[in-house]
Homo-oligomer: A and B are copies of this chain.
Amino acid sequence: LKKDVEQMKLQDPNFRPGLVVLQVSARLELACLDILGCFVAESVKAVCPQVLHSITEVNENSSVHGLIVQLPLDSVHKIDTEKVTNAVAPEKDVDGLTSINAGKLSRGDLRDCFIPCTPSGCMDDIVISRSCVPKPIDCLAREVGLLSDEVELFGKTKAKVQLKIIKRLQAQPDGKYVVVTGITPTPLGEGKSTTTIGLVQALGAHMKLNVFACVRQPSQGPTFGIKGGAAGGGYSQVIPMEEFNLHLTGDIHAITAANNLVAAAVDARIFHESTQSDKALYNRLVPLSGGQRKFSPIQINRLKKLGIEKTDPSTLTEEEITRFARLDMDPSSVTWQRVLDTNDRFLRKITIGQSPTEKGYTREAQFDITVASEIMAVLALTSSLEDMRQRLAKMVVATSRGGQPITTEDLGVSGALAVLMKDAIKPNLMQTLEGTPVFVHAGPFANIAHGNSSILADIIALKLVGPEGFVVTEAGFGADIGMEKFFNIKCRYSGLRPHVVVLVATVRALKMHGGGPTVTAGMPLPKEYIEENLELLEKGCSNMTKQIENAQHFGLPVVVAVNAFKTDTEAELDLVCNMAKAARAFDAVRCSHWAEGGAGALALGQAVQRASEAPSKFKFLYDLELPIADKIRIIAQKIYGADDIELLPEAQHKVELYTKQGFSKLPICMAKTHLSLSHEADKKGVPTGFIVPIRDIRASVGSGFLFPLVGTMPTIPGLPTRPCFYDIDLDPETEQVNGLF
């Protein structure tokens, strides 16, 4: 636009631009004052039916050279877009300034309000993050086709997107859907997040395609422990990285609040039931108000579940009163844990209820990190507000002494949970260092949950980029875990069908799989990893080959992205690419996006684009109707390469319990180490001849999966002797955050 005006001015020195931006929105009067000064304010006072007249009027004003009409869909419904278009065209078109735009500026129109980052060899993530002046987020929102009424700004660099956009864009064909996964990593990680960001920077800022990255919100706890930030790295980052890593828009905090309300409700209910008769309980649960007792809607839901089709509290029989009022939870059966988004190791196992006010009803309990909450998994897997309300109500917190699963709806807390989560459900818009859009939404634990970002963010992004565009989403851990769950759980619930798998590999990790020495976080790398060693590397490529196969089980083309480190040699990088192609990868390319930003992932972007046009026939790995043990066995044999599984007694018991309770049709979410294809972290490469022991099985009924436990999973990290918070500080003058990495 600005360029157009400049050009006009060059061509005609007397040119006086009288272009009018007419923004028609629900807040019409305000929008006019805001956007137009008062040029159109007095002529467009109208609500939608009058818009057409106003446009015509403005159009007839000879001082107006052009017109942009930005119409949100709700008004378009009412006023017939064709007529609007006709009201302006063709006269105004001739001077090259007019564009009728139902809600979308073309890409790049606003790009010059943004100073992108130029790689300059800096090594410090937060310094790089700060070297770029981000686009104002409202500007980016318009650029990607969001209407102002669909966006809720959170400061200048973050915004939430309302779900109503899904309805507006329902007729729009989806873009191409790319999942980034990895080979079995070292404990240092092999750069999946960085590759995800580098790839969208390449596709968007360099190849000028519509793109979106969809990534997980990181847990805040580890940011202050040993891990540091998680916004990608180097010249492939989500910015501002401090906003990304801290609080964001409060989604994880909302989960903490919702999760702990359930926990407080569980223990308070057990306590109150233990000290009251059925009748007293009932009278308190359904209190007299204005001389009458009345069930709340949530209580009526519980009555229905119990098969009591009554709505008048005075008509319940004594037996019905008991069944309704007494949940009779067995304290030892409580599976619902409290959570905090803090690395607090002293909360791993605690005894609660020791104050005299709780009259001796103590019990053992624990805190998990917030991202391990089932509510986080619900957020990631839900597809609408209504669906989230239902999932939150179905969450099982304990078993009654009679063997019934007790849900949050039984506790009466399900509506409050939906209320606490009503904003968290809206995906968060941010941007990369090169100004391409990113959705940051949900971040479920990758071991006891499925470790993928939200379905809603992917759905919205796929609509926004349109059929030629790309949405790149990351799956946690290696392909045997994150990718398998992405397909079998996330894609199953979303109905979305991916086009391409990008598998990230590093020379370092492949050498480890080839028999290299142990790699430990915080320790210097042994020389095998710093010097050329083609022998170790070639041997270790077996892990990559197996993970390529794993992706092919789902019928998709695989592009291997070799994330190059500066110590890797040409021969090493070539070897990996050749081995990948030999394993029938669609393509294999080396990438240097960490050091070079999107430019360093251009070959990857091109390979992904080609792969997205290749024929694919996506299929799931197992049928949900199979018995629980069979589903687990298929994953273990086909993906991990195990000979078989072994159900230990507790797991066997749970198979029977869940089958009886009706939960056997749920997909499987394996809780297994990510450091080996097998269940033993130190077995590198492609282990064979092993049997996967299933210690126990848990149910995440609200989020919708069963998670078999293979070994013990830590659910809340601790702080080391010198946590990284020692380096973190705020400059009170500039308000800049220092020391995050």
Is the CB–CB distance between A19 and B1 below 8 Å?
A: no
Stretch in A37-45, A202-210, A586-594 with 4+ CB within 8 Å of B: A37-45
A257 touches B722 (CB 8 A): no
0 or 1 for each of A243-273: is its CB under 8 Å from B? (1 = yes): 0001101100110110011011101100110
The answer to whether A19 touches B35, judged by C-beta atoms less than 8 angstroms apart, is no
Does A343 belong to the interface (CB within 8 Å)?
yes
**Separation in Å of the A358 CB from the closest CB of chain B?**
6
In the complex, A351 has a CB within 8 A of chain B? yes
- Choose among B6, B247, B719 the residue that contacts A253 (Cβ–Cβ < 8 A): B247
Chain B contacts for A720, CB-based, 8 A? 268, 272, 284
Q: Given A35-B37, A346-B358, does the pair A721, B364 have CB atoms closer than 8 Å?
A: no
Taking a contact as CB atoms under 8 Å apart, the answer to whether A419 and B242 are in contact is: yes
A271-301 interface code vs B (CB 8 A; 1 in, 0 out): 1100010000100111100000000111100
Does A620 sit within 8 A of B, measured CB to CB?
no
A386 vs B732: C-alpha distance when bound (angstroms)? 5
Give the shortest distance, in Å, between A154 (CB) and chain B (any CB): 6
Interface string of A317-348 (1 = CB under 8 A from B): 00000000000000000000010111111111
Q: Would B272 and A721 count as touching, CB distance under 8 A?
A: yes
> Which residues on the B side are within 8 Å of A722 (C-beta)?
284-287, 412
Chain A 79-93 near chain B by CB (<8 Å), digits 1 or 0: 000000000000000
Q: Which of the residues B1, B265, B297, B726 comes within 8 Å of A729, measured between beta carbons? A: B297
Complex contact B345–A354 (CB within 8 A):
no
Chain B residues contacting A139 (CB-CB under 8 Å) are 30
CA distance A265 to B160 in the complex (A): 33
CB neighbours (8 Å) of A341 from chain B are: 257
Q: Which residues of B contact A168 (CB under 8 A)?
A: none
CA distance A139 to B30 in the complex (A): 8
Neighbour of A723 across the interface among B112, B265, B361, CB < 8 A: B265
Asked if A100 lies at the interface with its beta carbon under 8 angstroms from chain B, I say: no
**What B residues does A220 contact at CB under 8 A?**
257
Interface of chain A, main secondary structure: mixed
**B-contacting residues, A120-157, CB 8 Å:** 136, 138-139, 152-156
- B364 near A354 (CB under 8 angstroms)? yes
Select which of B261, B272, B344, B727 is within 8 A of A260 by beta carbon.
B344
A723: chain B residues within 8 A (beta carbon): 265, 268, 412-413
Q: A2-B41, A39-B18, A725-B413 are in contact. Are A342 and B260 (CB under 8 A)?
A: yes
Q: Is the CB of A422 within 8 A of B735?
A: yes
Which residues of chain A from 702 to 741 have a CB within 8 Å of any chain B CB?
Answer: 718-723, 725-730, 732-733, 735, 737-740
Name which of A41, A156, A722 has the most chain B CB atoms within 10 A of its CB.
A722
Counting CB contacts under 8 A, is A308 at the interface?
A: no
Tell me how far the C-beta of A427 lies from the nearest C-beta in chain B, rounded to whole angstroms: 14
Kindly state whether residue A224 has any CB partner on chain B within 8 Å. Answer: yes
Which positions 403-431 of chain A face chain B at CB distance < 8 Å? 412-416, 418-420, 422-423
B257 touches A296 (CB 8 A): no
Chain B residue at smallest Cβ distance from A155: B152
A738 contacts across to B, CB distance below 8 A: 415
Contact across chains for A265 and B719 when beta carbons are under 8 A apart: yes
Interface centre among A33, A224, A253, A737 (most CB of B within 10 A): A33
A245 CB to closest chain B CB, in angstroms? 10
- For A254, the closest partner residue in chain B by CB is B247
User: Is B355 within 8 A of A348, CB to CB?
Assistant: yes
* Contact indicator A344/B726 (Cβ below 8 Å): no
Digitize A348-384: 1 where CB-to-B-CB distance is under 8 Å, 0 elsewhere.
Answer: 1111111101100100111000000000000000001
- State how many copies of this chain the complex holds: 2
A9 within 8 A of B: yes
Q: Which residues of B contact A613 (CB under 8 A)?
A: none
A69: shortest Cβ distance to chain B, in Å?
A: 12
Per the 8 Å Cβ criterion, residues 1-51 of A in contact with B are 1-2, 5-6, 9, 16-21, 27, 29-30, 33-39, 41-42
Instruction: Tell me if A385 counts as interface (CB < 8 A to partner B).
Output: yes
Determine if A63 is an interface residue (Cβ-Cβ < 8 Å).
yes
Residue of B with least CB distance to A135: B30
By a CB distance below 8 angstroms, the chain B residues around A357 are 345, 348, 718
Within 8 Å CB of A389, what residues of B? 730, 732
Name the residue of chain B whose CB is nearest to the CB of A280: B721
- Is A113 interfacial (CB-CB < 8 Å)? yes
Judged by a CB distance under 8 angstroms, whether A496 is at the interface is no
Contact assessment for B246 and A420 in the assembled complex, using a CB-CB cutoff below 8 Å: yes
Rounded to whole Å, the gap between the CB of A62 and the closest CB of chain B is 10
* Chain B, Cβ-Cβ closest to A390: B732
Residue of B nearest to A298 (CB): B726
Q: How far is the CA of A345 from the CA of B728 in the complex (A)?
A: 34
Among candidates B247, B284, B412, residue contacting A250 with C-beta atoms closer than 8 Å: B247
* In the complex, chain B residues whose CB is within 8 Å of the CB of A298: 726, 729
Please indicate the chain B residues that have their CB under 8 angstroms from the CB of A33 in the complex.
1-2, 110, 113
Inter-chain contacts of A739 with B (CB < 8 A)? 296, 415
A350 touches B350 (CB 8 A): yes
Given contacts A1-B33, A1-B38, A41-B5, contact A727 B296 (CB under 8 A): yes
- CB neighbours (8 Å) of A423 from chain B are 155, 247
In the complex, A492 Cα to B182 Cα: how many Å? 59
The one of B256, B299, B728 in contact with A726, judged by C-beta atoms closer than 8 angstroms, is B299
B contact residues around A418 at 8 Å (CB): 729-730, 732
Chain B: which residue is nearest A366 at the CB level?
B355
Bound-state CA distance A267–B21 (Å) is 59
Cα A37 to Cα B64 in complex, Å, equals: 11
Indicate if the CB atoms of A256 and B254 lie closer than 8 Å.
no
Q: In the complex, which residues of chain B have a beta carbon less than 8 angstroms from the beta carbon of A20?
A: 37
Within 8 A of B (CB), among A489-504: none
Q: Cβ of B39 and Cβ of A735 under 8 Å apart?
A: no
Most buried by B among A42, A256, A347: A347
A260-B419 in contact (CB<8A): no
By the criterion CB–CB under 8 Å, are B285 and A415 in contact? no
Cβ proximity bits A514-541 to B, threshold 8 Å, 1 near / 0 not: 0000000000000000000000000000
CB-based contact A419/B737 at 8 Å: yes
> Could you list 12 examples of A-B contacts with CB < 8 Å?
A2-B33, A2-B41, A30-B139, A246-B420, A264-B719, A268-B344, A268-B723, A284-B722, A348-B357, A349-B355, A412-B726, A415-B728
Sample of 10 more A-B contacts, CB < 8 Å, known A34-B138, A415-B729:
A1-B41, A2-B38, A29-B112, A37-B68, A152-B156, A220-B257, A260-B344, A264-B346, A351-B354, A415-B730
Nearest 5 CB-CB pairs, A to B?
A: A415-B729, A253-B253, A348-B355, A264-B344, A416-B725
